Amino acid sequence: MKQLFTDLLSHLKTKVAALILVATFVSYAAQAQLSEKTHFDIAKYLDIYNALFKELNMYYVDSIDVKKTIQDNITFMLRRLDPYTEYFPEEETSSFVEQTTGEYAGGIGALISGESGNILIREPFEGMPAALAGLQAGDALLEIDGVSLEGKDSSFASEHLRGQPNTNVKIKFRRTGETKPREIVIERKRIQRNPVIYYGALPGNIGYIYLSEFTTHSASSVKDAFNDLKTNKGIKSLIIDVRDNGGGVVEDCLEILNYFLPKGDTLLTMKGKFRQLDRTYRATQQPIAPDIPIAVLVNRSSASASEILSGTLQDLDRAVIIGNRTFGKGLVQSPRQLPYNGSLKLTTAKYYIPSGRNIQAIDYSHGNDEDSISYIPDSLTSVFYTSKGRPVRNSGGITPDFVTGEKKMPTIAFYMEYGNENLFFNFVTAWRIKHPQIAPPEQFVLSDSDYEAFKTFVKSKDFNYDRQSEKALASLKEVMDFEGYLPSASEEFTALENKLKPDLDRDLDFYKNVLSDRLTKEIMRQYYYAKGVVINTLRNDDDLKKAVEVLSDTNLYENTLTAKQAADK
């Protein structure tokens, strides 16, 4: 009977999913265009779904968790479309609002996480109640308003930390290196993250703005930062840094473009399934800085609105783009209200920047299954042209005008940062006990002795990590054995195998520069918040150096924006 239940649900998920989506959420204008057969199919399969679930609920041998089963089915259905279409039930609506606005009604302003049975303060946000009250990264939460957190997860703690602004919350916690718990009372405040983590003036009258995300406050934050730099620092050119910015609210991105582009310029076009829903967005106001030279820094993690910003400025020959090719997300999501206070973030269109190109890198037209996902190869892309005739290509993200060396994270660093051990984070929380004060971000350099201490810490944790070369070698051995090549090449294979044997000491030394950099970032985050990370990183930043070089050379800047280089064939 259980197998029958599983088979029926699987059949339901795979056959009816897309039809349910269309039936429930398509607009009235769009419904008018649906064929009579489509209307019939929608009604037919919804009837089947309704009857099927009633039968399961009535006669299945065990009780069915209706809410969980239906929500799991919805989640499965949406995941088959693309990774960006998401359903938020009423209890998760606050998370949806936070994604788009960068704020939530009331809380202490800290990122928390669960680790080894503990709920830890992962990062208190600068200027927020948690930081102002003295909470630190690594503090283990024990109780909230007298409610024990033993056996609870981070979502439970987050729910209890939030509340109405101007109300108090009492927290019992234990600090790293201490045995006696502490107690503290914090007044909740309305939490609003500032998307401009840092801005400042560089030598040569060059302004710099780091924009971490696109929320409903991004445009005003960028405008305030720019006006301050222009008025009080006398900047003559500007660097906008959207590296690691995964996007967000498109409207604020368009507002930022308005600051630098002539009124009337086409900024973006969105095209969906139905022509009635297509939109073209133009600059609607006089720019505040129509002529200031601009460089935009991007990397592989710059996506969505970051690509609209950089791609539109590139297509209109208004800025030089520097860094690495961007992520390639050319899909637009729109919020839709659902019954019972639910929300849907739904992919409704593709966007096209002024040259007419769409930069979507992954083809989801056949669904989001692993077997159906495919990256659009460069050989199948087309050439488009900027306003001054420079060739650019669609698909695969925005290719910078100046491509710099891409810094890749080796496997060992990935496991240290994101694995269960959280080695960077845990080392720094303990390291802080002996280092209550350190040099400011502009001056701090990790010493060799501190790195040696980190190596000792890592080895004391019996740290293990999957090495991709080792996995590839094992697969190669299987293939060679199957095809009969292993006996004749056993000597060479054994020699290669010996060279690739795991050696933690060797890898800690070989990747010292990368690991020191990641460790330094964690130190900066715990002492000086996200702003400190940016300031410290800029001291030795190849992308920034290139941007300064280009903006300091008027001929290089202007020639880059007018050169009609031959398009790749």
Q: Report, as residue numbers or ranges, the catalytic residues.
A: 304, 315, 329
Q: E strands within 108-236? A: 110-115, 118-124, 140-144, 147-148, 168-174, 182-187, 189-192, 196-202, 206-211
Q: Strand 279-282 and strand 266-272: pairing?
A: antiparallel
- Two tokens, residue 558: 């202007």
CA distance 109 to 97: 16
Question: Within a 10 A sphere around the Cβ of 520, how many other Cβ atoms?
Answer: 21
Radius of gyration of the chain (CA): 27
The sheet carrying 206-211 orders its strands as 196-202, 206-211, 237-241, 294-298, 320-323, 402-403
CA distance 442 to 440: 6
Q: How far is CA 357 from the centre of its chain?
A: 23
The SS3 call for residue 528 is helix
H-helix or E-strand containing 504? helix 504-510
Rounded to whole angstroms, the maximal C-alpha distance in the chain is 78
Phi, psi for 318 (deg, rounded to 5)? -105, -15
Determine whether 302 is exposed, middle or buried from the number of CB atoms within 10 Å of its CB (0-12, 13-18, 19+): buried
CA distance 352 to 281: 11
Label residues 64-101 b or e (16+ Cβ within 10 Å = b).
eeeeeeeeebbeebbbbbbebbbbbbeeeebebbbbbe
109 close to 89: Cβ distance less than 8 angstroms = no
Q: Half-sphere exposure (CA, 13 Å, Cβ side) for 419?
A: 15
